[in-house]
């Protein structure tokens, strides 16, 4: 089931932000901002902390683009808090400041169709939503494959460029590069014809 072009499923769950437990964290509270919502399998694992730290390292760039980063896993909020209190050099995510949502009952992962039912964990799903909560980009990786934070930023740039200029962004496009109108003339102009 694809969520592309549809409003993202809302949720109300426990989350941890900078060590503080939030009882009623809602996706819908972030309308008016772009949202990058990403799922990861489990706290205290191996690829996962590299991803959470990579998003933290680029958090300022997301914020400059009016984009809220939110992480989700099927761990409890207690596990999230413990992982946040574990130093990076011991496999922890100390210093991560964006929200980490607990999907302990696995409803969020099911709603976004990323849950591996037999394992009770989410695949590495990433969803980009516009300011109204509509999903424009989704990517799904299997458990061993870490994602590219730079690609997530590129997709935020592409969505914002399209919204601002009405143009489409070709393959490997980056902010500041040539885009095109979505017609034959735009295509010919793009290829220099």
Task: Report the run of H or E that residue 63 belongs to, with start and end.
Answer: helix 59-64
Give catalytic residues, as residue numbers.
48
Cα–Cα distance for residue pair 162/169, rounded to 1 Å? 7
Q: Report d(CA 156, CA 187) in Å as an integer.
A: 22
> What pLDDT does 171 receive?
96
In the predicted model, is pLDDT for residue 1 greater than 80?
A: no
> What is the spatial distance between Cα 45 and Cα 139, in angstroms, rounded to a whole number?
21
Whether domain 12-145 has CATH 3.40.30.10: the reply is: yes
Q: What's the Cα-to-Cα distance from 142 to each of 20, 30, 73, 146, 166, rounded to whole Å?
A: 30, 28, 14, 8, 33
Would you kindly state where each structural domain of the chain is located, as residue ranges?
Answer: 12-145, 148-193
| Partners of 26 in beta bridges | 12
Average pLDDT over residues 164-179: 95
CA distance 45 to 61: 26
Give residue for tokens 């984009």. Answer: 67
> How confident is the model over 87-116, as pLDDT tens digits?
999 999 999 999 999 999 999 999 999 999
Q: What are phi and psi of 62, to 5 degrees?
A: -65, -45
């Amino acid at each position: 089931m694809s969520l592309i072009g549809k409003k993202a499923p809302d949720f109300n769950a426990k989350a941890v932000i900078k060590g503080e437990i939030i009882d009623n964290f809602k996706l819908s509270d972030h309308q008016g901002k772009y949202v990058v919502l990403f799922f990861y399998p489990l706290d205290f694992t191996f690829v996962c902390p590299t991803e959470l730290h990579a998003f933290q390292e680029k958090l300022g760039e997301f914020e400059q683009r009016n984009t809220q980063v939110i992480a989700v896993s099927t761990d409890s909020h207690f596990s999230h808090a413990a992982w946040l209190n574990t130093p990076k050099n011991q496999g922890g995510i100390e210093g991560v400041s964006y929200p980490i949502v607990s999907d302990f009952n696995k409803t969020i992962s099911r709603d976004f169709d990323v849950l591996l039912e037999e394992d009770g964990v989410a695949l590495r799903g990433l969803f980009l939503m516009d300011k109204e909560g509509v999903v424009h980009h989704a990517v799904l990786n299997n458990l061993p494959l870490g994602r590219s934070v730079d690609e997530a930023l590129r997709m935020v740039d592409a969505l914002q460029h399209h919204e601002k200029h009405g143009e489409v962004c070709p393959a490997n496009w980056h902010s500041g590069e040539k885009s095109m109108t979505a017609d034959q003339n735009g295509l010919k102009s793009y290829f220099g014809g």
